Amino acid sequence: MITRILTIDENSLKLSKKIIDGGGAVAFPTETVYGLGANAFDDNAVKNIFTVKGRPNDNPLIVHVHKDYDITNLVTEIPDYAVKLAQAYLPGPLTMVYKSKGKVSSAVSCGLDTLAVRVPEHEGAQKFLKYVRLPIAAPSANISKHVSPVTAEHVYADLNGRIEVILDGGKCSGGIESTVLDCTGEVPAILRSGLITREMISEIAGDCLVYTPKNGEQVRSPGMKYKHYSPNCETMLFEFGEFEKALIAYDKYANNNIKVCLLCDARTCGLSGSRECLNLGDNGKDIASNLYYKLREGEEKFQIIIAVAPEIDDGIMAGVMNRLTKACRNQ
Ligand code: AMP
Ligand code: MG
């Protein structure tokens, strides 16, 4: 199969609709990362996404809908706090989990009785969703466990030959995946941290829990248990206070002619002398936006990435550290 990167226009949207209606998958941009979408009502189309990505079949997908879509078609028991959160933050990088009406393919939620719904803000995503006139089940458009894609070229690098069309909407501004919020309880609970922070949710909903699975408990968001976001090279991660140790490790590799780089915030980069450094930026928003881009750059150019945790006090850092830890620690 030949894979084409297309700018988003009438022709590419028409072709995308044809592919989606025929049970295929199309990659499309969102403000977080690129998604790999298929018709959420079509069992085989949804199952195909798992095959294309090599995704474990107990890791449920998020359904993406157009901003004018009435989600009561798909879910029930929408609490007041969720209505308020939707007014405040949607369209945007917030995925909300509700009780499912069971209308979409059961493969979307991998048998769970809940459904994760997201309304992406990206203009290209909105155009695509409007054109296809369907709820679209979509995980990130990468090979499972690899770094999520934030450009059309990243998608191509992973899925060339496996899908027909990648809709090109430029570099994703957000850079890490949406916040996943369980809205089935009295108080909302973050299942995966992201760009909409706990503070932002508490401000509107009055309170917000952060879910951490207890020992032995069945994980409420199955995606949490998998290794994720990993570059195709060796990685190490040091705490901020371990900067000196990171430099010692760097020098050891460099002296052995191993292509090594640091991955850290701007200030730490500034302290690392003439060493190779992938600069993530100097604030939470930029660091999130650059994280996957720099991890992909690192795996292209180097044999080992030595990450140093940024010392930045911003709610977004919960999501960044979650991804950085999963990407760079062998767990
Ligand atoms: P990805 O699409 O690769 O960004 O992953 C989607 C994330 O949403 C994973 O962490 C899933 O576990 C989570 N998710 C999707 N559907 C549900 C659901 N019904 N309940 C809880 N978590 C979900
Ligand atoms: Mg993913």
> What CATH number did the domain enclosing 25 receive?
3.90.870.10
pLDDT tens across 253-266, in order?
999 999 999 999 99
Does any domain span residue 221? no
pLDDT tens across 290-317, in order?
999 999 999 999 999 999 999 898 999 9
Between CA 72 and CA 130 the distance in angstroms is 18
Q: With bands split at pLDDT 50, 70 and 90, how would you rate the model's confidence at 227?
A: low
Q: Judge if 27 and 141 occupy the same domain.
A: yes
Percent of the chain with pLDDT over 70: 95
pLDDT tens across 55-80, in order?
998 999 999 999 999 999 999 999 99
| 331 has pLDDT over 60 | no
Q: With bands split at pLDDT 50, 70 and 90, how would you rate the model's confidence at 213?
A: confident
Beta strands in the chain (DSSP E): 4-7, 26-28, 35-39, 62-64, 75-76, 94-100, 114-118, 136-138, 165-168, 179-182, 189-192, 209-210, 234-238, 260-264, 277-279, 304-308
Measured in angstroms, how far is the CA atom of residue 236 from the centroid of ligand 1?
27
The secondary structure of residue 148, as a DSSP letter, is P
pLDDT tens across 182-199, in order?
999 999 999 999 999 999
Question: Longest Cα pair distance anywhere in the chain, in angstroms?
Answer: 61
Residue with CA at minimum distance from ligand 1 atom 10: 223
Q: Are strands 234-238 and 304-308 parallel, antiparallel or unpaired?
A: parallel
Count of domains observed in the chain: 2
Q: Which of 61, 65, 150 to mutate to test the pocket of ligand 1 (most atoms within 8 A of CB)?
A: 61
Residue 279: CA atoms inside 13 Å, Cβ hemisphere, count? 12
Residue-level pLDDT at 222: 55
Q: Which of 52, 57, 62 to mutate to test the pocket of ligand 1 (most atoms within 8 A of CB)?
A: 62
Amino acid at site 282 = D
140: Cβ below 6 Å to ligand 1?
yes
The sign one gets for the Cα dihedral 133, 134, 135, 140 is negative
Measured in angstroms, how far is the CA atom of residue 84 from the centroid of ligand 1?
22
The sign one gets for the Cα dihedral 189, 192, 195, 199 is positive
**For residue 18, what are the domain limits?**
4-210
Q: Judge if 197 and 274 occupy the same domain.
A: no
CATH number of the domain where residue 311 is located: 3.40.50.11030
Q: Judge if 245 and 194 occupy the same domain.
A: no
| 327 has pLDDT over 50 | yes
Q: Judge if 168 and 49 occupy the same domain.
A: yes
**Nearest bound ligand to the CA of residue 138:** 1
Does any domain span residue 206? yes
What is the rounded average pLDDT for all residues in the chain? Answer: 95
